[in-house]
């Protein structure tokens, strides 16, 4: 959901957006790949946590869309900013989920 906004849109054909990625073992060799292949590990957190993260991310999609997809420019127009309470709550949960996703951050907090 989040990376698709950074992907390069295909110029022809029916390919999906791509992004430049690097393998942690070979940082000097970037390669284009589908955004679905970046940082994708099946069942990384376990089924229950994965479902919760999917729900949090899914709930945040409309908030991201409201902020980033304004047809009049890069910043949301006055009728879309500040975000309404539903979008604010979804973004707060999304940000909180990002903060506690890593062991290092969980220990720090």
pLDDT 10s per residue in the chain (109 long)?
667 777 677 666 656 778 888 887 888 888 888 777 776 677 777 888 888 888 999 999 998 888 877 666 666 666 667 788 999 999 999 999 888 877 787 788 7
User: In the chain, what are the domain boundaries?
Assistant: 3-37, 47-108
Q: Which token pair is 27?
A: 């940082």
Q: Which token pair is 94?
A: 């999304």
**Helical residues (DSSP H) of the chain, grouped into ranges:** 47-68, 85-99, 103-108
pTM as predicted: 0.65
Cis peptide bond upstream of 55, omega within 30? no
């Amino acid at each position: 959901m989040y990376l698709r906004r950074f992907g390069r849109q295909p110029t022809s054909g029916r390919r999906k957006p791509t992004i430049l990625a690097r393998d942690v073992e070979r940082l000097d060799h970037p390669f284009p790949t589908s955004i679905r292949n970046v940082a994708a590990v099946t069942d990384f957190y376990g089924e229950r946590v994965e479902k919760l993260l999917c729900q949090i991310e899914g709930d945040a999609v409309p908030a991201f869309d409201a902020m980033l997809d304004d047809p009049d420019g890069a910043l949301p127009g006055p009728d879309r900013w500040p975000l309404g309470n539903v979008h604010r709550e979804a973004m707060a949960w999304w940000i909180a989920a990002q903060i506690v996703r890593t062991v290092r951050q969980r220990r720090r907090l």
